[in-house]
């Protein structure tokens, strides 16, 4: 990557102050920053790409010729599907793995409970 746009944290003598340098780059402000970049460098937005996971970035995504919803929130997913935008969601593997682990943990707990039940029954029968 040769450059990026983003909210900039203020620092003085290499120490962060906790304040921002300029405004928060969010929502419509991202679209304005991109328009300024396009003007400065003579870019053609029809050939540009933008990626986001949030519906808040809709103004930015709507500017470019190649918008991509990347691990999108629900509202962005719905809008991207409606607009036939590219959608990349890499969370499904993690969800499946997590559900698999929860299922395996549940099965293990059930097996342990059954084994404990048999052991207690044996002890009580004497």
Residue extents of the structural domains in the chain: 1-89, 91-126
CATH H-level superfamily of 1-89: HAD superfamily/HAD-like (3.40.50.1000)
Kindly indicate the confidence band of residue 6, based on its pLDDT and cuts at 50, 70 and 90.
confident
Q: Phi and psi at residue 3, in whole multiples of 5°?
A: -175, 165
Residue pLDDT, tens place only, 20-77:
998 888 899 999 999 999 999 999 999 999 999 999 999 999 999 999 999 999 999 9
pLDDT at 114: 54
In the chain, DSSP finds a helix count (H) and a strand count (E) of 4, 5
Residue pLDDT, tens place only, 77-103:
999 999 999 999 998 766 555 555 666
C-alpha closest to that of 86 among 115, 57, 50: 50
């Amino acid at each position: 990557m040769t450059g990026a746009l983003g909210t900039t944290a203020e620092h003085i003598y290499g120490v962060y102050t906790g304040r921002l340098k300029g405004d928060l780059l969010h929502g419509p402000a991202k679209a304005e920053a991109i328009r300024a970049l396009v003007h400065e460098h003579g870019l053609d937005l029809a050939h540009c790409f933008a990626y986001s996971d949030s519906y808040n970035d809709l103004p930015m995504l709507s500017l470019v010729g190649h918008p991509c919803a990347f691990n999108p929130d629900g509202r962005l997913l719905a809008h991207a599907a409606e607009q036939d935008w590219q959608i990349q969601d890499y969370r499904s593997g993690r969800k499946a793995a997590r559900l698999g682990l929860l299922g395996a943990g549940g099965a293990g707990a059930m097996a342990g409970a059954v084994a404990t039940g048999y052991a207690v029954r044996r002890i009580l029968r004497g």
